[in-house]
Chains A and B, each alone.
Chain A
């Protein structure tokens, strides 16, 4: 069954069309790369799936439900910005996540926080932007969700952290979950992806298996990306 089903989705901001008649069906058990340059509509699509934006027309369904309270129980979302309330501490945030998300695994979150060298006792206000983003990632990836929506998870992190994040995504993989990674850094993620979705000016221009691209075209996803999005 398709975990995510998007039909004829259009989103306009005033006169600007951010998404233009998008159709997309994603199955469980896949790690999908949502690939496109900045401003192509990746974040808009992910925000729509989280109910943070409302569609202009068309429908989105997660497990057969429109984005809402029901879908939020099983969707783990990493926003493209630091959004954690800065008056809270890491332990408070973990407690809050455990209170609201039944699928939150606190022990796992603590392991990750430890692995990434985040000082739990430090108040959020004193954390650097990078540390806050890492903490946010730990909270999101410590959930056993059906759907992971990761908006630019590796943008602006050091190579060691990037590797850790990718390994975490792999280790979190299960056949009931779909993981969507939005990024423009294709080379870094391409070996982790099952499927790639190319998005250009708000339209889906390609949805294919990553291995199929390498097999049939004899080139890397990164190279194909550069061809498709050549300026």
Chain B
């Protein structure tokens, strides 16, 4: 897994985004132990205090939890993970919708376009199945 940081955005915020993605995409499975702050900081090439701050924020959001002696773990609570997926989906839709509005599509046009696209995916799959 690569870390890529953009200029001009606080690194801790970028770490939170990256870690959230890793948890949502199962790169870190539910209940899995996370590497130590130092290891993560070395891996990402960032200041350990910054990494610590990002992990503390993830903990506050309930995505990870820490056990006093053994370290930090990804949450096992399905509700939290479901919420995370929903939240991410909403975020992506929002970004997506903004772009579509920019090119002049209204709510109805977007809806129509999405339906067409979803049908297209299904058609693709059917086509592959027949082979």
A and B touch in the complex (CB under 8 A): yes
> Which A residues are within 8 Å of any B CB, using their own CB?
29-31, 163, 166-167, 170-171, 173, 191-194, 210-211, 214-215, 217-220, 222-223
Please indicate the chain A residues that have their CB under 8 angstroms from the CB of B45 in the complex: 163, 166-167, 170, 191-192
Instruction: Verify A214–B42 contact, CB threshold 8 A.
Output: no
Instruction: Verify B11–A173 contact, CB threshold 8 A.
Output: no
Instruction: Verify B38–A170 contact, CB threshold 8 A.
Output: yes
Measured CA separation A94–B47 after assembly (Å): 29
Closest 8 CB pairs of A and B: A220-B7, A219-B8, A214-B10, A215-B10, A173-B48, A211-B10, A191-B46, A170-B42
Chain B nearest CB, measured from A168 CB (Å): 9
Please indicate the chain A residues that have their CB under 8 angstroms from the CB of B7 in the complex: 219-220, 222-223
- Residue B103 interfacial (CB < 8 Å): no
Chain A nearest CB, measured from B14 CB (Å): 9
Given A170-B38, A170-B42, A171-B38, decide whether A220 and B8 contact each other with a Cβ distance below 8 A: yes
Measured CA separation A219–B9 after assembly (Å): 7
Measured CA separation A78–B45 after assembly (Å): 21
User: Which single member of B5, B8, B47 contacts A223 (CB below 8 Å)?
Assistant: B8
Chain A nearest CB, measured from B72 CB (Å): 17
Measured CA separation A31–B47 after assembly (Å): 8
Could you list 19 A-B pairs, sorted by A, with CB under 8 Å? Answer: A30-B49, A163-B45, A166-B45, A167-B45, A170-B38, A170-B42, A170-B48, A171-B38, A191-B45, A192-B46, A194-B47, A194-B49, A211-B12, A211-B50, A214-B8, A214-B11, A215-B10, A218-B9, A223-B8
Instruction: Verify A191–B48 contact, CB threshold 8 A.
Output: no
- Residue B56 interfacial (CB < 8 Å): no
Instruction: Verify A214–B46 contact, CB threshold 8 A.
Output: no
Please indicate the chain B residues that have their CB under 8 angstroms from the CB of A173 in the complex: 38, 41, 47-48
Measured CA separation A203–B48 after assembly (Å): 29
Chain A nearest CB, measured from B6 CB (Å): 9
Please indicate the chain B residues that have their CB under 8 angstroms from the CB of A167 in the complex: 42, 45
Measured CA separation A31–B49 after assembly (Å): 9
Extra inter-chain contacts (15) besides given A191-B5, A211-B50, CB under 8 Å = A31-B47, A170-B42, A170-B45, A170-B47, A170-B48, A191-B11, A191-B44, A192-B47, A193-B47, A194-B50, A211-B12, A214-B9, A215-B10, A218-B9, A223-B7
